[in-house]
Chains A and B, each alone.
Chain A
Amino acid sequence: MTTTFAVDVRGLTKRFGTTRALDGLNLQVEAGTVAGFLGPNGSGKSTTIRILLGLLRADGGEATLLGGDPWRDAVQLHRRIAYVAGDVTLWPNLTGGQTIDILGSLRGDLDRDRVDDFLARFDLDPTKKARSYSKGNRQKVALVAAFASRAELLFLDEPTNGLDPLMEGVFTECVAEARAEGRSVLLSSHIFAEVEKLCDTVTIIRDGRTVESGTLKDLRHLKRSTVTVTLDSDPAALEAIDGVHDLIADGGHTSFTVDSVALPRVLTALAALGPRDLVSTPPSLEELFLRHYGVHAAADDHEVARP
C-alpha cells in the first residue's frame, strides 16, 4: 500500500545562533487527513511550520511539501496551501473584508461566496478596520481567508487561541468539512480535547525532536489503560501478574494500570476474584503528552528561546 504524504519531514534541524530549535524532527501528514502537532511553547512547532512555509531555511534533514521543496518551490507551493498564524497581525487601517480579499487574490482563488459563507459562520463584521479588532477577531480574519480558499493543505498554528467556545465549535466543524472535501490539515495546538476530537494522527514533539507519533488509537494501544474494579476478594493476587502496575486497593475498590498486552491475563485473573463492577479507561492524550513532559520538563522548555 502506498500512502501519499502532504507533508513529509525527516530529520529536520534548525539552529538560531547557539539555540538548537529543531533537532532531528520527523513529521508526516497523510493526504486527506488531519494531523495534530503537540508540544509546549518553544518546542519548535512554529519553527517547523515556518520552514514548511519557506519563511525559514532548514539547516539539515529533508522536508517535502505536496511533492515539492518548501524553500525552492515556495511560490508554486503557496498556491496550494493556506496558513493561519497563532498571533495574526493585520494592516491596522484596512478592514477585515479587504484583508481577506487581498489574501485570496494573492493565492489567486478568491471566491466571494465562500468568503461570505465563512464570515457568517464565524460571525465576523468585515467592515471594521483591523485596528479595532480583538485578538479573536483578527484570528477569525485569517481563519475565514484560509477556509474560504481552495488550498489543498491548511497549516493552522494554534488557531483557536483567542476564540470563544462557540467559535471553537464552528472551527471544529470547518476542519471536519475541510477533511471531507479531501484537504489535509496540520493543526498545532495546546488543547488536547480539540486534537482528540479532530485529528487522525498525532505528533508530539519535545525540544525540537519527535517523541511520539501515530494514530491516536495506536498511541493508546501501546500505553497502559487504567482499570478500576470493585472486588469482594483480596486483590493481592493481581499484583503478581506481569504487566500490572500502580495497584492501589482501598476497601472494595481497586485501581491499577495495565499494559495492553497483559490485558487477557489480567481479565482471567479478575474473573476469578468475582468483580462486581469494572471500568477500563484508555490513556487520554493529556496523559500521553504529560508522560513526556513532567512539570519540570515543561518548565525547562520555557527557557528555550523562540526564534
Chain B
Amino acid sequence: MSSTADDGSGALPGTLIRATWVTDYWLTVYKRTWKGTVISSFVTPLLYIVAMGVLLGGFIKGDPAKLEGATSYLSFVAPGMVAAQAMTTVFGEVTYPVMGMIKWHRTYFGMIATPLGIPEVILAHLGFVLFRVATVCAVFLLVMTPFGVFESLGGVVIAFFAQLLIGMAFAVPIYAFTVGLKDESAFALVFRLGMIPMFLFSGAFFPVSNLDAPMEAFAKVTPLWHGVDLTRMLTVGNIDGPMVLVHVVYLSALVVLGWFWAVRRLTRRLTD
C-alpha cells in the first residue's frame, strides 16, 4: 500500500537520515519552550560576569603567574564560567526531560513503533541537546566580548566549538545513566554530589593548584576541569599543545563510551 523513502537498512547512513525525521518534533518542542530558556541563556551570563568577574574580581589581586596565563581575574574566570554553563545546561536537558520521554509521556515508545530505531531516537535527542549547548554558549561568549576578556577572535571561535565537545562529554554519559533509571530520585544526588561540587571545585573560579595535592589530582580527573582548562587556553591564548590533545581525547572518549552505554541501556529499557 505504501512505503517510505528509506531503504530500511540498519547501516549508518540510514540511521543518520532517519534521525533527521525527528527534527520537526524537536522544533515543535523548542517553539513551545524557547521563551522559558531566554532568561537562563541571556540574562544569567550577564549576572555571572558582573557579579563574579567584575565585582568579586575587583577584590582579587592574584599573582598573574598563578592565573594560568590570564591577565586579570575577570579574564581567568570568564572561560571557566562558559564551560560550567555548558555543563549545567546539559545536566538540565538530559535528566528530567529524558525521563519524561520514557516514563511520564512515553514519547519514545511512540517513536520506536515507526521506522525510527533506538540509535535514531538517541541521536535526535542528543542533537537537540547539542543545539541547546550551542545557543547558550554562543550567547554567553557574545555577552562577555564587550568586557575585553578574549585575546583573539580565532581563540573564541575555537572555544565555541570546544563547548560543543564539553557539552556532549557530559550529555552522552548522563543521558545513558538516565535512560536506565526507574524513577527520578537519583537526580537529586546527581545534581548535589556531581554537578555542584564540579561547578565549584574544577578550576572554573580558582586555579586547582590552590587545592591540596590529592584534591588537585581528583579535580583534574573531572571532565569539567578538562573543559575549563581547554577553554581557558583558547580564550587567554596560552596554548599547550599536548595538553589540548589530552583534553580533546579525554572528552571525546566520554562521548564515545557514553554512546555505546546509552544504546545498550535504552535498548534494554524500551524493547524488552
Q: Do chains A and B interact in one complex? A: no
Interface residues of A (CB under 8 A from B): none
